[in-house]
Structure 1
């Protein structure tokens, strides 16, 4: 996700609405810009792994007998679902929700991330919002972030583990796009924030080419995958694009599994879509059984993947 090829203006947070008990939101607090230099990147295929050094720091999670959707594709860093339009109609909105997982780690500095976004598959442009989870001082913590590649990601606020996160990204007016999230915490508090950003027509065209609901293993500032935290199973709900279900007519639907650098192990697997066409789950694989017999293939044409070269933050 985070890549510093150039500095573009960091867009300000323009709306903040909170509802809860009294004026204090307890565990929820505003946060400064991301200081840990995690990189959540555009789509990276496994068979192009040699073009990226990311796998050098990957955690040794082996897999697994697991039930995989048909025609699943493989990625170095993503797991979940990707849709592309069957016509020339561009995507202008995406939404989804999940519960922030209680992550655990067998290695130091392990991290996991969940997000929704537009772009990043056949375009280098990517607009996204989600949560990053890690272990800090022995305890799991989570941050809500947003990002517009190639700008650095911005932390918006901390949220308690177990919070339900609802996120939407939409073209609100002309060149203005809104990224809104609502966090409902386990103790009954609610916080809503909206970030607005201005996109030129070329960037808007780029992100209109795909929509995603993704669990990811982030990279560090040196473009190496950090150890993947065990996020267990994360259930995505209300997964919608352009106001319709993920699998609505007009969408090419593509399940994606994250695999190890050698391609022998599944690290995060997606489930089949629910009967509503708007729900699925991703599961971190931690067992050491042999892989299932289900074939995993690379992304077919006509989708063209451009591997992004990442640079350390300034």
Structure 2
């Protein structure tokens, strides 16, 4: 739900899901409204941007390739350090020469989202290089980076992600064109839209709470919820969604609503996300108390129909997207979206109620109970419970999630 909040989706911005990253994977790279994102997410925008004076030749020798690789690694190291300085000194121009114009704009927005979400400082703890390749005018580099975010209350969060960089040669200098954090390849604390680990299903997650069904082929999912009235007392965000895939795979198709709290105000919005792409907000006006139904349905092959119906305001959003899904799971989730280098603080949403949940499993429409969906409790990095799902109701399709 994007800026992206990984929902997070996992997978948006005011604060950004996944959207603060739903989303925004358990995540939303979510593109959250203004300030915080899922993610889902995702999101998933990285901090490092690179520019390096490196001479590229059409047929570089082994020695030249080695020199280029070393230069690119040094450039990435320097770019990460500049990104850290830009945020900590609140001076984005410090990183202006390390990315293409479009990517630089994304970085500026990411820094803004982090700051609005309560982050006061970031630190590059470590960086390692898995692969660096260069051609005549483009280059790719894969890194594993650990960043530390410090919040206004003095607490810190460490997040480790894989970053896949694409660089382009611009006026003799290498610049970052994109930085993707692949779904399922990142630390559970920072992946919008996806679960911490496959083993976490039925147990705990640092960013998901709700129910997940797996084991079989899932070709549709639906759920209805009442958008909770979120407290504006403290900055934070939450994303509510249904999805296909992502519980134990790197793909995740999801859609839902989110709330972002920033500056004493709450902004509600609806979004969709297809990891690893950032979440996208959709043109619906969402308010606390609205009854929203979201349905994802495979039409044929990679074609999916997505519908978001706000029954309270009689608004409807419909779209068809192309997405390659493993069809490996179905989810009904309340998420703490991700933004930039960490999970956004979970908002005080009170109690959320899901009703009329169902999925198409192996060609048959079934309830959560019949799909053998398992419960997930959200905990923080210290193991403290943040959000707990209730047992399924007698109908096998309804449950609540309580913020603790």
Q: TM-score range by the shorter chain?
A: 0.5 to 0.7
Alignment of 1:72-91 (within 5 A): 72-85=202-215, 89-91=216-218
CA RMSD, 1 decimal: 2.7
Per chain length, whose mean CA-contact separation is higher, i.e. which structure has more relative contact order (CA < 8 Å, sep 6+)? 1
- Are the counterparts in 2 of residues 34 and 154 from structure 1 also a CA contact under 8 Å? no
Residue of structure 2 in register with 1:158 after alignment = 285
Structure label with greater radius of gyration: 2
1:198 and 2:322 aligned: yes
- Are the counterparts in 1 of residues 357 and 398 from structure 2 also a CA contact under 8 Å? yes
1:136 CA displacement: 4.8
1:107 CA displacement: 2.8
Choose which of 27, 43, 58 in structure 1 pairs with 2:26: 43
Structure 1: give runs of 5+ residues left out of the alignment.
Answer: 5-32, 45-50, 61-70, 286-314
1:246 and 2:376 aligned: no
Q: TM-score, normalised by structure 2?
A: 0.51
1:262 CA displacement: 1.2
How many aligned positions are there?
225
Alignment of 1:30-69 (within 5 A): 36=16, 38-39=20-21, 40-43=23-26
- Are the counterparts in 2 of residues 81 and 256 from structure 1 also a CA contact under 8 Å? yes
- Are the counterparts in 1 of residues 293 and 310 from structure 2 also a CA contact under 8 Å? yes
Q: Distance in 1 between matches of 2:332 and 2:202?
A: 15
- Are the counterparts in 1 of residues 389 and 401 from structure 2 also a CA contact under 8 Å? yes
Cα distance change of structure 1 residues 155 and 58 upon mapping to structure 2, 3 Å threshold:
farther
Alignment of 1:67-216 (within 5 A): 72-85=202-215, 89-108=216-235, 110-136=236-262, 138-156=264-282, 157-185=284-312, 189-199=313-323, 203-204=324-325, 206=326, 208-216=327-335
Residue of structure 2 in register with 1:237 after alignment = 355
- Are the counterparts in 2 of residues 102 and 140 from structure 1 also a CA contact under 8 Å? no
Residue of structure 2 in register with 1:296 after alignment = none
Q: Distance in 2 between matches of 1:169 and 1:57?
A: 36
Residue of structure 1 in register with 2:83 after alignment = none
1:276 and 2:400 aligned: no
- Are the counterparts in 2 of residues 55 and 261 from structure 1 also a CA contact under 8 Å? no
Cα distance change of structure 1 residues 54 and 73 upon mapping to structure 2, 3 Å threshold:
farther
- SS of equivalent to 2:248: coil
